[in-house]
Structure 1
Amino acid sequence: MSAANPGGSIRRLALALHESPALWWSFLYFFCLLSGYYVLRPVREAMASSSDLQEVFPQALIAWFAGHGVALQDFVLQFLFTCVFLIMLLLQPLYGWLVSRYPRRVFMPVVYGFFIVTLLGFHVMFDSNVPGRGMAFFFWIAVFNLFAVAVFWSFMADVFSNAQARAYYGYIGAAGTVGAFLGPLITGALVQRVGIANLMLVSAGFLSICLLCIWRLRHWAVAREREQQLVSGEQPMGGSVLDGLKLIMREPLLRWLAVLVLFGVGVGTLLYNEQASIVRLAYPDQDARTAFYSHIDLAVNALTLVVQLALTRWLLSRHGIAPALLVPAFAIILGFSVLAASPLPMLVAMVQVVTRASEFSLFKPARETIYTRVDRQWRYKAGAAIDTVVYRGADLGFAWVHKALSLMGSHLVFAGGIVVAAMMTVAAFGVLREEKKLPRDR
């Protein structure tokens, strides 16, 4: 049966769902998580590319920069990414304390409960047109995207073995992609009818279903830990709040994973910032920008879903993680080479779609299967540190790199992107070398 046969992929998916009840709940969990996120993602993009500073920043901050002779509108993304990185530095020890001191049944509902409550607060802010709401929301959704998704994949590594992960992660990712399809559709259909404020309530509803899924999936996580005599996630992990960063410094595999994420984020940040500059000029209206970004998201999700259903399981099960890491890396190098020669807006959008789709459908599932073969300290502490501090540090650094390169034009931005993509490929080879030293399952 061909790996690219859609009918065969659907039959294999139906069989997997029949064999594993846990897969059903994982499907629902990731579907709702990404539906809730993608309802809000276009709002973030619209805020980040807004030409109205008072939509984004508090008046006092605008006045402070003006008083110091700095045109804040020239440094919107750089300022936002800098603040997000500082927030991550503050939250990482708090998260480390939470997972060290409390068992899984406590810290996971606390994480999602926090996001639900704060969404209700944003409903009030957007309904009242509070100045600076864009900045606050940009910070919030950056934290949500990283922590909520990192916790999800760490939990999946508690529930599934390595063999199951290779067979199921592509399908679980596809469920998330379907949710990511639904989110922009909801936004595109409702934003001009009910307004941005009420989209916050829609997202909060999806996250509430995630809490139900966590409660149901705990049964299979506990069963796997008992069967394979692993350390129970129903007990606090203990240790230091900074154990995650210490593990990254000490373990070669984690260091290479951190470098892979660093340069992978760098590729995306250079492309994202250049696209934001184009969209800011082409779509001055907030609602129009929101609709545009929702269309980009739909294209990304369409390609992601096709790859997840037709290729991801086949690649991971038959050939391991090597093709899933290396094929997208080479494709990104090719895409940036084309843009360096001809940075047309349509080509930028096309490379954006390929870059993000390859991350969701191949890069991410391949990386996450590695965590099924290591202990929970690596998953919940080191993995979360990579997905938060390293990720946002890369965002910050490459936001300023983009600012410098953009002074000399789009051609140089994309030429720099080729170098970054090449470094990402080197890191992928490093991960593959260290991954071979792990046991096949724990």
Structure 2
Amino acid sequence: MHRFRAALSDSPPLWWSLLYFFSLLCGYYVLRPVRDAMGASGDAATVFPRWLLAWAEGAGFALGEYTLQILFTGTFVAMLVLQPVYGGLVARFPRRVFLPVVYLVFIACLVGFYWLFHTGVSGRGGAFFIWTAVFNLFAVTVFWSFMADVFDNQHAKLVYGYIGAGGTIGALVGPLITQVLVGRLGIANLLLVSAGFLAVCLLCILRLRPWAMRRERLHGEANGEQAMGGSVLAGLKLVWQRPLLRALAVTLFFGVGVGTLLYNEQAAIVKQFYPSPEAGTRYYATVDWAVNGLTLLIQLLLTRWLLRRYGVAPALLGPAVAILLGYCMLAASPLPVLVAIVQVITRAGEFSLAKPGRETLYTRVDRESRYKAKAVIDTVVYRGGDLTFVWLHKLVAVLGSSMVFATGIFVALGMTAGAWQVVRAQRELPDERNKPDEA
């Protein structure tokens, strides 16, 4: 607590950053259990529109057997379509315009889904699943890109653990709100609760803008209050050309793979034991609460110390090795309770260590890499991994859970190799401690 108070006094924008991330993840985690319950739903009529169900029936196959595969494919297609839109928004409009616009669009979408859920339109479940995945990746990506504008590398090592903890508290409160209110308010009204938290995010963006401008002046960087310019597809080129960005993309691709394989096994369990939307929603809310409770402990007790003393290497390699060991245990004994335990450890390690470690690296790159390339990695590469491994799971699952987890061992090895390449490549980045402005 003493270090936390010292960090707050040394960094006034930390207050608003904490509130921002708390509100963002609280709003998302109000929605996540609803989204996961839709993905695990055994009622295809809730998830898919009637015309698609009729077409599948005429083609002679049950759409409900491919629910997650179809939803993940739709999410990837949505990412491919929206990525150039986001790139054009970032290139043509200054930060003071495109940041609020992103969140205003998300708020408007939530109001639209409120109407869809109230009216019971067919296909609302699938549309909501895809939209929530898009919302999560773009909103969180924009947040961390903005944080890299507000804080330099040395400050990021000091405060990112605390900011992450603020988000984790929001991620704990969100499922609790869902657990308590879903039976009283219904699913539709929960969407308006989430919209309220996004409105708080808009306020935080306005309050943090002066600090981002101050940081840019101190380090002689391009003014983020002016349009960035460049190609809307520049992010793809940067990821291909720069070793660090390529390594980050590889790490995230395989990291998504280990999570997707676990997610699909968990979804099969939920579909069997929690068939109703309300019961499934409560189950996922409980798992989220466990994940975020462990994440919070690590963020408060370990993340800041590791980043300051040892840099990003243990933050990236530690979770990768833990996931590899978890998959080895699952391959030997694929018990349902062990699947849940490894799921909690996997997500907690990602949120508390790997994610803050990766995000500090973006404070040491140019703004085009920070906003455009990062968005490509966090959206297209992320959902490309989802798409690849959700179909891989469908193919391997017919051979049993042990084969799924044996496959996961090789995926975890790919993630570990990517993390090692990131550690090597980041050594070539400039260190802001050597800049005269930091003296």
Q: Does residue 133 of structure 2 align to residue 142 of structure 1?
A: yes
Q: Equivalent of 2:263, from 272, 282, 307?
A: 272
1:66 deviation in Å? 1.2
Q: Equivalent of 1:13, from 4, 26, 32?
A: 4
Rounded to whole Å, the distance in 2 between the matches of 1:112 and 1:63 is 36
SS in 2 for 1:407: helix
Q: Equivalent of 1:384, from 365, 375, 378?
A: 375
Rounded to whole Å, the distance in 1 between the matches of 2:173 and 2:146 is 24
Q: Equivalent of 2:76, from 66, 85, 95?
A: 85
Rounded to whole Å, the distance in 2 between the matches of 1:67 and 1:345 is 36
Q: Equivalent of 2:186, from 192, 195, 219?
A: 195
Q: Which residue of 1 aligns with 2:400?
A: 409
Q: Does residue 299 of structure 2 align to residue 320 of structure 1?
A: no
Rounded to whole Å, the distance in 2 between the matches of 1:227 and 1:325 is 29
* TM-score, normalised by the number of residues in structure 1: 0.97
Q: Does residue 65 of structure 2 align to residue 74 of structure 1?
A: yes
Q: Which residue of 2 aligns with 1:4?
A: none
Instruction: Map 1:192-271; keep pairs closer than 5 Å.
Output: 192-271=183-262
1:69 deviation in Å? 1.5
In structure 2, list runs of 5 or more residues that go unmatched. none
1:336 deviation in Å? 0.8
SS in 1 for 2:399: coil
1:71 deviation in Å? 1.5
Rounded to whole Å, the distance in 2 between the matches of 1:84 and 1:67 is 25
Q: Equivalent of 2:115, from 109, 114, 124?
A: 124
Q: Does residue 104 of structure 2 align to residue 113 of structure 1?
A: yes
Q: Which residue of 2 aligns with 1:436?
A: 427
Q: Equivalent of 2:166, from 164, 167, 175?
A: 175
Rounded to whole Å, the distance in 2 between the matches of 1:18 and 1:28 is 16
Amino acid at match of 1:64: W
Rounded to whole Å, the distance in 2 between the matches of 1:125 and 1:90 is 23
Instruction: Map 1:13-52; keep pairs closer than 5 Å.
Output: 13-52=4-43
SS in 2 for 1:75: helix
Q: Equivalent of 2:284, from 281, 290, 293?
A: 293
Rounded to whole Å, the distance in 1 between the matches of 2:403 and 2:422 is 29
Amino acid at match of 2:288: D
Rounded to whole Å, the distance in 2 between the matches of 1:13 and 1:243 is 39
Rounded to whole Å, the distance in 1 between the matches of 2:405 and 2:100 is 42
Q: Does residue 313 of structure 2 align to residue 303 of structure 1?
A: no
Rounded to whole Å, the distance in 2 between the matches of 1:307 and 1:128 is 43
Rounded to whole Å, the distance in 2 between the matches of 1:47 and 1:77 is 10
Q: Which residue of 1 aligns with 2:418?
A: 427
Rounded to whole Å, the distance in 1 between the matches of 2:133 and 2:279 is 22
1:70 deviation in Å? 2.1
1:366 deviation in Å? 0.3
Rounded to whole Å, the distance in 1 between the matches of 2:115 and 2:427 is 51
Rounded to whole Å, the distance in 2 between the matches of 1:11 and 1:64 is 62
Rounded to whole Å, the distance in 2 between the matches of 1:260 and 1:26 is 26
1:131 deviation in Å? 1.2
Amino acid at match of 1:215: L
SS in 1 for 2:223: coil
Q: Does residue 191 of structure 2 align to residue 164 of structure 1?
A: no
Q: Equivalent of 2:56, from 52, 55, 65?
A: 65
SS in 2 for 1:240: coil
Q: Does residue 361 of structure 2 align to residue 363 of structure 1?
A: no
1:133-154 alpha-carbon deviations (Å, 9 max, x no partner): 1001011101101000000000
Rounded to whole Å, the distance in 2 between the matches of 1:91 and 1:117 is 16
Q: Does residue 388 of structure 2 align to residue 397 of structure 1?
A: yes
SS in 1 for 2:428: coil
Rounded to whole Å, the distance in 1 between the matches of 2:9 and 2:361 is 25
1:82-134 alpha-carbon deviations (Å, 9 max, x no partner): 11111111100000000000000000000000000010011111112211110
Q: Which residue of 2 aligns with 1:374?
A: 365
Flag as ranges the 4+ runs of structure 1 deviating above 2 A: none
SS in 2 for 1:436: helix
Amino acid at match of 1:81: F
Q: Equivalent of 2:144, from 141, 153, 157?
A: 153
Amino acid at match of 1:131: S
1:342 deviation in Å? 1.0
Q: How many residues align?
A: 433
Rounded to whole Å, the distance in 1 between the matches of 2:6 and 2:57 is 62
Rounded to whole Å, the distance in 1 between the matches of 2:37 and 2:86 is 29
SS in 2 for 1:400: helix
1:334-389 alpha-carbon deviations (Å, 9 max, x no partner): 11111111111111000000000001000100000000001100010000000000
Amino acid at match of 1:35: C
Q: Which residue of 2 aligns with 1:55?
A: 46
Rounded to whole Å, the distance in 1 between the matches of 2:325 and 2:261 is 15
In structure 1, list runs of 5 or more residues that go unmatched. 1-9
